[in-house]
Amino acid sequence: MYPGQAQNKPNNNVLWIVLAVLAVAGCACLAILAAVLFPVFSQARFAAQRSMAISNLKQSSLAVLMYSADWNDRLPPGVSWVDATFPYAKNDLIYRSPAASKVDKAAYGFAFRKELGLKKIAGYRDPDRWAMIFDSTILIRNATSGLETMPQPGRYGSGASASNGVAFLDGHARSLLDEDRSNNGPDGNPLVR
């Protein structure tokens, strides 16, 4: 190089442009990945809440059945069903709906079917269809009501897959879709009484 002659510097602009394009493409890929995964995580959260609710309902129904075994086949009084069955459960959390208590920690969210209070289980022909404990819009302890207080749409899921948890008089518990409440079984009788 001669004195006074301009020095040629290598042009690094191409490298910076390539890096910028890769950064933008990486951000776009992350946005697409997030758009795909967020609904999956939401569905997994609903499924976990639904499973926990079914487990709580099953345990609550078993506490009620143990109570009735000790009280000459009679169900607990509706107005104090949680208090009456608590000695058989020993855990207050099983009387709480996970979806209701997520919004309000003091909320219970399950109700006992009011027309079953103090009745004998043997008096029901098909106990596998009689809803006994269920998700309810009444959030207090010892809630008692009819099935009309079941949340619409259901607490767990969204759209056509929205469901509520229900424990039946025979002790089993399951998730119940909104339309199942009005459908009939193969014998022509309602699926849920």
Asked if 76 and 84 count as a contact pair (C-beta separation under 8 A), the reply is yes
Residue 95 resides in a domain: yes
- Could you tell me the pTM of the whole model? 0.80
Query: Reduced to 3 states, what is the DSSP secondary structure of residue 10?
Result: coil
Domain count, the chain: 1
Residue 93 resides in a domain: yes
| C-alpha of 3 from chain center | 81
Residue 15 resides in a domain: no
Quote the domain boundaries for residue 144.
52-181
Q: What is the pLDDT of residues 94-143, one digit of tens each?
A: 999 999 888 788 899 999 999 999 999 998 988 999 999 999 999 999 99
Residue 23 resides in a domain: no
| Strand ranges for 59-150 from DSSP E | 110-113, 131-135, 144-145
Residue 137 resides in a domain: yes
Q: What is the pLDDT of residues 9-30, one digit of tens each?
A: 666 788 888 888 899 998 989 8
